[in-house]
Amino acid sequence: MRTTGQIEARQPSYRLMLSVFAVPGWSRGRTLRAMAIVAVAYYIGVRIGLALTMTTQPVSTLWPPNAILLAALLLTPTRAWWIMLLAALPAHLAGELSHGIPVTMVLSWYISNSTEALIAAGAIRLFDRQARLDTFRRVVLFVLGGVLLGPFLSSFLDAAFVMWNHFGSAGYWEVWRTRFLSNALATIALVPVIVHTATARLDRMREIPLRRSVEAVLLSVGLLGVCIVIFTGTIAPQNASVALLYAPLPFLLWAAVSFGPGGAGASVLVMALFAVWAAIHGHRPFDATSAHANALSVQLFLIVTSIPLLTIGAAVAERRHGEQALRRSEERFAVAFRSSPDALVIVHRSDGAIVDVNVQWEKMFGHTRAEAIGQSTEDLHLFLHHVEASRFKARLASDEQLQEMEVLLRSRRGAVFRAVVTAQSVVMMDEPCVLVVIRDITERRRAELELQTQRTELAHLSRVALLGELSAAFAHELNQPLAAIMANARAGQRLMARKPPDSAEVRNILEDIVADDRRAGEVIRRMQALLKRGELQLQPLDVNEVVREVVELLHSELIRREVLVHTALAPALAHVPADRIQVQQVLMNLLFNACDAMAEQPREARSVSIVTSGTLGAVRISVADQGVGIPEGKEEQVFEPFFTSKRHGLGLGLSICRTIVSAHGGRLWAVNNADRGATFHLVLRRNGSSHDVWTLG
Ligand code: ADP
Ligand 1 center from residue 566 Cα (angstroms): 21
**CB of 515 closer than 8 Å to CB of 521:** no
* Residues 252 and 299 both lie in one domain: yes
* Residues 27 and 169 both lie in one domain: yes
Q: Among candidates 697, 693, 688, which has minimal Cα distance to 662?
A: 688
* Residues 123 and 227 both lie in one domain: no
Angle at 409 between CA 405 and CA 413, to 5 degrees: 165
Ligand 1 center from residue 623 Cα (angstroms): 13
Ligand 1 atom at minimum distance from 652 CA: 6
Boundary residue ending a domain (490, 514, 535): 535
For residue 490, give the amino acid letter: R
Residue 559 or residue 118, greater confidence:
118
Three-class secondary structure of residue 611 per DSSP: strand
* Residues 569 and 618 both lie in one domain: yes
Pocket flag, ligand 1, residue 466 (CB < 6 Å): no
- Atom 24 in ligand 1: which residue has the minimum CA distance? 629
Ligand 1 center from residue 465 Cα (angstroms): 15
Q: What is the pLDDT of residue 399?
A: 66
pLDDT digits over 280-332, tens only?
Answer: 777 666 655 666 777 777 888 888 888 998 898 889 888 988 898 888 988 89
pLDDT digits over 359-382, tens only?
Answer: 999 999 999 999 999 998 888 889
Pocket flag, ligand 1, residue 649 (CB < 6 Å): yes
- Name the residue of 590, 645, 673 whose CB sits within 8 Å of the most ligand 1 atoms, as the mutation to test its pocket: 645
Lowest mean pLDDT among 162-176, 230-244, 329-343, 368-382: 230-244
Residue 328 lies in a domain: no
Boundary residue ending a domain (176, 197, 218): 197
Q: What CATH number is associated with residue 415?
A: 3.30.450.20
- Name the residue of 463, 607, 638 whose CB sits within 8 Å of the most ligand 1 atoms, as the mutation to test its pocket: 638
Residue 483 lies in a domain: yes
* Residues 277 and 377 both lie in one domain: no
Pocket flag, ligand 1, residue 627 (CB < 6 Å): yes
Ligand 1 center from residue 652 Cα (angstroms): 9
Q: What is the pLDDT of residue 587?
A: 95
* Residues 420 and 486 both lie in one domain: no
Residue 610 to residues 37, 267, 588, 635, 685: CA-CA distances in angstroms? 85, 92, 12, 19, 18
Residue 11 lies in a domain: no
As for how many domains the chain has, the answer is: 5
What mean pLDDT is predicted for residues 679-684? 96
pLDDT digits over 182-240, tens only?
Answer: 899 999 989 998 998 888 766 666 677 888 889 999 999 999 998 888 887 665 555 55
Ligand 1 atom at minimum distance from 646 CA: 14
What mean pLDDT is predicted for residues 658-674? 92
Boundary residue ending a domain (162, 179, 197): 197
* Residues 205 and 155 both lie in one domain: no
Helix H, strand E, coil C: the string for 318-364 is HHHHHHHHHHHHHHHHHHHHHHCCCEEEEEECCCCCEEEECHHHHHH
Ligand 1 center from residue 626 Cα (angstroms): 14
Q: Among candidates 671, 673, 672, 676, which has minimal Cα distance to 694?
A: 671
Categorize the per-residue pLDDT at 8 as very low, low, confident or very high, splitting at 50, 70 and 90. Answer: very low
Residue 279 or residue 329, greater confidence:
329
pTM assigned to the model: 0.54
Ligand 1 center from residue 578 Cα (angstroms): 24
Q: What is the pLDDT of residue 239?
A: 56
Cross-strand partners of 402: 423
* Residues 516 and 665 both lie in one domain: no
**Residue 637 lies in domain:** 540-697
Residue 132 lies in a domain: yes
Q: Going by DSSP bridges, is the β-strand pair 431-440/343-348 parallel, antiparallel, or unpaired?
A: antiparallel
Pocket flag, ligand 1, residue 625 (CB < 6 Å): yes
Pocket flag, ligand 1, residue 638 (CB < 6 Å): yes
Residue 332 lies in a domain: no
Q: Among candidates 122, 109, 26, 121, which has minimal Cα distance to 69?
A: 121
Residue 161 lies in a domain: yes
Q: What CATH number is associated with residue 75?
A: 1.10.1760
What mean pLDDT is predicted for residues 64-85? 92
Segment of 174-178, 495-499, 534-538, 585-589 carrying the highest mean pLDDT: 585-589
Residue 330 lies in a domain: no
- Name the residue of 462, 644, 655, 679 whose CB sits within 8 Å of the most ligand 1 atoms, as the mutation to test its pocket: 644
* Residues 142 and 279 both lie in one domain: no
What mean pLDDT is predicted for residues 478-498? 87
Pocket flag, ligand 1, residue 598 (CB < 6 Å): no
- Name the residue of 469, 600, 647, 654 whose CB sits within 8 Å of the most ligand 1 atoms, as the mutation to test its pocket: 654
Pocket flag, ligand 1, residue 105 (CB < 6 Å): no
* Residues 490 and 421 both lie in one domain: no
H helices present in 169-290, as ranges? 172-199, 210-231, 249-280
Other CB atoms closer than 10 Å to residue 320's CB: what's the count?
Answer: 13
Q: What is the mean pLDDT of the chain?
A: 85
Other CB atoms closer than 10 Å to residue 377's CB: what's the count?
Answer: 20
Residue 692 lies in a domain: yes
Q: What CATH number is associated with residue 572?
A: 3.30.565.10
Ligand 1 center from residue 593 Cα (angstroms): 6
Residue 680 to residues 11, 456, 547: CA-CA distances in angstroms? 70, 23, 14
Helix, strand, coil percentages, rounded to 5, for the chain:
60, 10, 25
Pocket flag, ligand 1, residue 629 (CB < 6 Å): yes
- Atom 17 in ligand 1: which residue has the minimum CA distance? 638
Residue 265 burial (10 A CB sphere; 0-12, 13-18, 19+): buried
Q: What is the pLDDT of residue 694?
A: 34
* Residues 369 and 307 both lie in one domain: no
For residue 224, give the amino acid letter: L
* Residues 133 and 71 both lie in one domain: yes
